[in-house]
Amino acid sequence: MPPPPPQDRQEMRRYWDEKISWWADSSYEEHPRGPVDRLMAHLRRSVHARAVIALEMLRPHLAGKTVVDVGCGNGHFLHCCLEAGAAHAVGIDISPAAIEEARSLAKRHGTADRSEWHVGRAGDGTLPPGDFVTGFGLVDWLEKDECMQFFKALHGRHFVFSFSEMDGSFDEWVHYFYLIKRLEWFGNGVRAYHHPRRTILRRLQRASIDDVQVVARREMRFGRLVHNLHTLSR
């Protein structure tokens, strides 16, 4: 049995139900619609960058494959994977509003027949079948035990996911106070977490995953990608 939810998931659901559309627009919209959008678009350039870099890492392997994206939001990354040649996409998110938006985007992109979208929770110890598992901006929202369950479910799979590194930069401090501290103080039961690189690597090891690489690129600022795609040809 997976451990009981460590925090009020209804709260987390509500939080993302309210936020996902605006969050995704300010992260991925090419043309921000107002000053707030423009500011958020600036701050979230790294979010866009991590999706682009992860897609380039996966692109050579995508033809005919299935990608499972956990915490898929509006499905932006999976829509890109399908355009890049993936045969099938499975999106999972705790927020029904995110899943609804992902579904309607799939209809608009003409990829509804090659994709499925489910409300679900990372950290319940299960993952649907697929060739690749991805998760961007996800582990920030997972409490320790959920994070561990997610990593255990990654065992034996090929994956790439993101985490945030405390690099002492200004942007990272803004992120730390805006996300982690603000929610700790005023989050009404919703919390975000900082899992440092050494914790991520130690937990992956405890999940019997020790052959991984960490990607740090300037465009991602304090964002990092951890993956085991280099083991694909073995």
Ligand X SMILES: C[S@@+](CC[C@H](N)C(=O)[O-])C[C@H]1O[C@@H](n2cnc3c(N)ncnc32)[C@H](O)[C@@H]1O
Q: Is 223 in the site for ligand X (CB under 6 A)?
A: no
Question: What is the DSSP code (8-state) at residue 47?
Answer: H
Q: Which of residues 53-82 bind ligand X (CB under 6 A)?
A: 70-73, 76
What b/e readout covers 111-137, taking b as 16+ CB neighbours within 10 angstroms?
Answer: beeebbbeebbbbeeebeebbbbbbbb
Q: How many residues in the shown chain lie near ligand X by CB under 6 A? A: 22
The residue among 138 and 160 lying less far from ligand X, judged by its C-beta, is 138
Minimum CB separation of residue 209 from ligand X in Å reads 19
What span, in angstroms and rounded, lies between the C-alpha atoms of 177 and 127?
Answer: 32
Task: Please list, in sequence order, all residues whose beta carbon lies within 8 angstroms of the beta carbon of residue 115, skipping any fewer than 6 positions away.
Answer: 75, 78, 82, 88, 89, 90, 91, 102, 106
- Region binding ligand X by CB under 6 A among candidate stretches 137-145, 168-176, 209-217, 226-234: 137-145
Q: Is 16 in the site for ligand X (CB under 6 A)?
A: yes
- Where in the chain does DSSP place strands (E)? 66-70, 88-93, 115-119, 132-135, 158-164, 213-216, 223-227
Q: Which of residues 145-204 bind ligand X (CB under 6 A)?
A: none
Query: Of the candidates 133, 137, 192, 221, which one interacts with ligand X according to CB under 6 A?
Result: 137
Residue nearest to ligand X (CB): 73
Q: By CB under 6 A, name the binding residues for ligand X.
A: 12, 16, 20, 24, 47, 70-73, 76, 93-95, 98, 121-123, 136-138, 141-142
